[in-house]
Structure 1
Amino acid sequence: MSQDEIDLANPRWYLATRLRDVILRRWSAEVQAIGVHGSMAHGDDTETSDVNLVVVTYRQGAGPRAALRRVDGILVDLSVASGEEGLRRSRELTSRWPLEADRYLTTRDLFDPRGWFGTQRDAHLAKLAETRPGEFSSLARRNWCVASAAHARAVRLAEWYETDAALVLIAEARLHAAMVAGLLTRTYFRNRADAVKRTGLAAADMTELGATLKAQAEELTARGRPVDGPLGALFES
């Protein structure tokens, strides 16, 4: 991204460029790329948005330390990784893929003379292209198990009139059920709020969520990844 493309009247972009300049002055020999992800990368950041800054170094442990704190009233989430580590992560699929893919595929560079972020995006797309449906289903089943357990505990707590604790667990169940949906359809989300909103689970009550989990369990079984089975099944993929 050229300096002309940055809206310096936007306080978040102004802060991001200041952070970039400080990092390049202090660690110029260690840093190979700097970028932003999240709402700023998508171009729809607001006054409540964070600055999600990622610094890519030439070697592990170099450059600034990761940090999370406010700067001039704006929350800054600074992550740091070596180029090798960043590419390794982009070639891995985990049960959190629906919440992680966006940063691999939508990062806007503030400094990237060798096109590292493009290399990361291509590496992740190549991994997706070679991944079989069964791997996504296995990851979805992991999220289903978390969602199902949280839902069951929320139901029990509600029966005991432990409403506040039940609400925390139902939120966890909604999120993991949303990630099941994302993995089964190869859909990634901007963040947790986006995940539950786009899957229609943001306002799901315990009964609706229970029905969703039942339907997901049936789909996983149909895909060869049943959510329950004999002891020996625990050691299968």
Structure 2
Amino acid sequence: MADNGVVIDELDASSPRGSLAIRLGDAVQERWSAEVQAIGLSGSMAHGDDNESSDVNVLVVTYRPKTGPKPAMRKVDGIPVDLRVITAEEGLGQARQLTPRWPLLADGYLTTFPLHDPQNWFADRREAHLSLLSEARPMEFTGLARQDWAVANGAHTRAARLTQWYDTDDAMILMAEARLHAALVAGLLTRTHFRNTADAVKRTGVAAADMQELGAILKYQAEELTARGRPVDGRLGALFD
């Protein structure tokens, strides 16, 4: 996997989002100075390509559980803010694990701008994740891809049935789920991570896939998983492999 986690060198304090991020960081440090180990920005602000519709994604890292600010999602001065809180131990543990949602999680591990990080925790988390990726075997990614494929295929099958019953609203919801998990399959099979769900479905070409097209994509993915030693169907005993 190419390491494309490029982080900005400096935050633009003159922009409304940059100014808000700095104020948020200062407020957290002032109120919970003894409990907070690090504060960072992820998402578009960390990449330096945020715009007027961007959120301010803030991660607060605490020394101990149930300390520091509470997680929150709301607008501040008209700007959407996603405030997440995690302990240092838990955050490093997550970075050392592969899950079916890896294509959506890796960008956060690799690309975070530190607002406050005197002990270089975010750099340690990045290195922990890069180490994991360097040691991970191809079959680990393929096994996780098969889990996402099962979710995608199940949602696609239910959507097709609901369409026959003219329940188009629920079918549309399930199709969105199927497209996302099909995108995750593609990301895992190619070791590609994405910025967010919209980026995932767009870059993998499933964003506009209709029922028939998505069915063909899932069929191709099933064949690819089988070729890589992780068939999507098999005898009962294979369920535990």
**TM-score, L = length of structure 2:** 0.94
Name the structure 2 match of 1:205: 210
* Offset at residue 183 of structure 1 (A): 0.2
Instruction: Identify the residue that residue 66 of structure 1 maps to in structure 2.
Output: 71
1:189 and 1:53 map into 2 onto residues whose CA distance is 18
- Is 1:151 paired with 2:156? yes
Matched, 1:39 2:39: no
Partner residue of 1:162 out of 167, 181, 190 = 167
List gaps (5 residues or longer) in structure 2: 1-8
Q: How does 1:7-26 map to 2 (within 5 A)?
A: 7-26=12-31
- Pairing 1:142–2:144 present: no
1:105 equivalent to 2:113? Answer: no
Specify the code of the residue in structure 1 equivalent to 2:175. I
Tell me the CA shift for residue 9 of structure 1: 2.1
- The whole-number CA distance in structure 1 between the counterparts of 2:223 and 2:70 is 45
- Report whether the alignment pairs 1:121 with 2:117: no
Aligned-pair identity in percent equals 67
Runs of 4+ in structure 1 displaced over 3 angstroms? none
Q: Does 1:229 align with 2:229?
A: no
Q: Deviations over 1:119-150 (max 9, x none)?
A: 00000000011110111011000000000000
Secondary structure of the 1:5 match is coil
> Counterpart amino acid of 1:207?
Q
Q: What is the one-letter code of the residue matched to 1:193? A: A
CA distance in 1, matches of 2:173, 2:189: 25
| 1:223 alignment partner AA | R
Query: Which residue number corresponds to residue 89 of structure 1?
Result: 94
Unaligned runs of 5+ residues in structure 1 are: none
Alignment deviations for residues 41-61 of structure 1 (CA, whole Å, 9 cap, x no partner)? 111111111110001111222
Pairwise CA distance, 1:5: 2.9
Query: One-letter code of the match for 2:166?
Result: Y
Matched, 1:183 2:188: yes
How many residues are paired up? 233
